[in-house]
Amino acid sequence: MDNKKTGELIFKIRSEKGLTQKQLADMLNVSDKAVSKWERGQGLPDVSLLPELGAIFGVNIEGLLGGGLNVNSFATGNMKKVKFYVCPICGNITICTGSAEITCCSRKIGEVIPRKADESHTLEINAVEDEWFISSPHSMLKEHYISFIAFASDDRLQIIKQYPEWNLAARIPVLRHGVLLWYCTKDGLFYKNI
């Protein structure tokens, strides 16, 4: 940790938020001299204050202590390159068009990397009028099922949530070529170009 960088960051964010040193100090139940000391790089906030300071500033603790906040470059909208993050505890699905630091159930979650579908994870895709009807013989038990199906084209993403103990079946409008993705709770994310 670099006290000077962290101090400069605290000063910058405090100023952006329109807070005085005294106002920030009052919010944290510390003296304004403590805040001044941090901003001058002559010390760091106590570890017990970091979660509250992060919440006030709307930043993560790692960025605060590292003395810099990473700014993603704008990801130009090809939805085929969307990134999926799935919480292994509760099953929450988070989607991002760029890089992200995702936390769920108090744990950091990494990006789920799609793999080309193998024989045990194939979906049946049939054209029915102007839709694709998607089904699968994959087991749909509480401990092992396909959690969602997604179709990504250049400009849109459609996600269809699936539930255990239901037969897997979904209809997706035929738009243009894209990528069909599906997430198996046991084996991860798979894809097929269609």
Question: Model confidence over 12-51: pLDDT tens digits?
Answer: 888 988 999 999 999 999 999 999 999 998 988 888 888 8
The DSSP secondary-structure symbol of 135 reads E
- How far apart (Å, rounded) are the C-alpha atoms in residues 101 and 62? 11
For β-strands 169-173 and 102-104, DSSP reports them as unpaired
Domain boundaries, the chain: 3-66, 79-193
- How far apart (Å, rounded) are the C-alpha atoms in residues 150 and 161? 9
Using 50, 70 and 90 to split pLDDT, how confident is the model at 160? very high
Residue range 3-66 forms a domain whose CATH class is mainly alpha
Q: Quick one: which H or E segment has residue 14?
A: helix 3-16
Question: Model confidence over 100-126: pLDDT tens digits?
Answer: 888 899 888 999 999 998 888 889 999
Percent of the chain with pLDDT over 70: 92
Give residue 61's pLDDT.
78
pLDDT higher than 60, residue 77: no
CATH 2.40.50.140 fits 79-193, yes or no: no
| 3-66 against 79-193: fold identical | no
